Amino acid sequence: MLEFFNNLRIRYSEFMVGRYGMDKLNWAILVAAIVVHIIYRILGFFFIRVISWILIILLIVRFISRDHGSRTKENIWWEGKSKEITAAIASADRSWRDRKTTLYFNCEGCKTKLSVPRGKGKVRIVCPNCGQEMFKNT
């Protein structure tokens, strides 16, 4: 039995030579596939199951791929996107937590997120990014 598992391990190692394996994007696809499958188990819609299978197939194709350049580019794209998503969640969390003491809004010129303390009446604000002047009731 031990020999069987040792042979399996050796065969797996031989199979994986030159193949891409796991990266952050593959882990994200795996988690997404599991979440989508749980949603399918709850709701029972067939198309949700199809989505989970597409994610699993995508995961396997990326895992056994020998095209390291393309997979690395995809992973770099994903790492950028996941940082944007994490920053957006942190920003939304901060805005919600400080909503009673701080007024958050986007610049009318460049859409940069700005903040001013509440309870100061009508204030003049100059965007530090683009210089746009705005007036806000705090």
Q: Which residues bind Zn ion (CB under 5 A)?
A: 107, 109-110, 112, 127, 129-130, 132
- Cβ atoms within 10 A of the Cβ of 134, count? 15
Q: How far is CA 75 from CA 61, 83, 135, in A?
A: 14, 12, 43
Nearer to Zn ion among residue 97 and residue 113 (C-beta): 113
- Beta-sheet pairing, 122-126 with 113-117: unpaired
Residue 102 or 132 with smaller CB distance to Zn ion: 132
| Nearest to Zn ion of 21, 109 (CB atom) | 109
User: Minimum distance from CB of 82 to Zn ion (Å)?
Assistant: 26
**Residue (51 or 116) nearer to Zn ion, CB:** 116
Q: How far is the CB of 62 from Zn ion (least distance, A)?
A: 40
Q: Are 71 and 29 in contact (CB under 8 A)?
A: no
Least distance to Zn ion from the beta carbon of 74, Å? Answer: 33
For residues 19 and 95, what is the distance between their CA atoms, to the nearest angstrom? Answer: 44
Phi, psi of 24 (to 5 degrees): -65, -40
Kindly state the smallest distance separating residue 109's Cβ from Zn ion, in Å: 4
